[in-house]
Structures are given as C-alpha cells and as structure tokens.
Amino acid sequence: MKQGVILLGHGSRSTAAQQELSTLSSQLKKEISYPIEEANLELTKPNFWDAAKKLINQGINKIIIVPLFLFTGYHVSQGIPRLIADAKDEYPEIDFQLTSHLAAETTLFKEIIKEKIDR
C-alpha cells in the first residue's frame, strides 16, 4: 500500500499562519519518506480536497490525515470526521486514516509544555 500524509490545519488569512504550516510541511518532508501535502479546513487554499486529489494522482491509496488542532472542538469532533466520511464515499478505493488531534497525545503535549516553561 502506497501511503501519503495530509497535514490539516484550520486555515487562516494570516500569511504568518500559512507560512508556519508550509514550514512544518517542508521540514517533515525532509524526515519522512511519505509524500506530504498541506491543507486547510477553511478560509484558504489548498483545501483538503486539493491535497487528497494531489496524493491520489500520485498513486497513493492510503492517506493519513493529521489534524493540526489542539483540543476537541467542533472541527475535531464533527467537521473533520464528516469530511473524512465524505472522502471515503467519494473515493472508496482509498484508505483514509484520521489520526488523533494534538492534545490527545498527552505525553508528547506535556513534554512540549514543559520545554516551553523551562526555557
């Protein structure tokens, strides 16, 4: 199975926010052997569908979606799962896998917070 990754941010009109997502994506591409696409849930392009189509056009048949959201709000609990369900309906031959949001990884999240405090 050939897999790729979508880094799914909220989306922002802020060029600084867009640049942060782009920088994160570029850095990960240097460390991870899978194709990585960045996407925004709303407000700006590329959106989820743009990123998914780009990966599918590369022959990817498993797409791992990493939601770059801190807490379980509307987007994490309803919006993104609904989007993934729609994607599975649109592309039944593709295995879409949604990872947990960032704060769900409490051990890692605690380490980030401790590092910020200790600076």
Per-residue model confidence as pLDDT tens digits over 33-92 = 999 999 999 999 999 999 999 999 999 999 999 999 888 888 889 999 999 999 999 999
Per-residue model confidence as pLDDT tens digits over 96-119 = 999 998 888 888 888 888 998 988
Query: Which amino acid, residue 53?
Result: K
Are 35 and 74 in contact, with CB atoms under 8 Å apart? no
Q: Which of 6, 7, 8, 10 is catalytic?
A: 10
Are 101 and 69 in contact, with CB atoms under 8 Å apart? yes
Copy the structure tokens of residue 9. Answer: 């941010």
3-118: CATH, from 1.10.10.10, 3.40.50.1400, 3.40.50.2000, 3.10.310.10: 3.40.50.1400
Q: Is 10 a catalytic residue?
A: yes
* Angle 19-6-94 from CA coordinates, rounded to 5°: 160
Task: Give the predicted TM-score (pTM) of the model.
Answer: 0.91
Copy the structure tokens of residue 31. Answer: 């460390």
List the chain domain ranges.
3-118
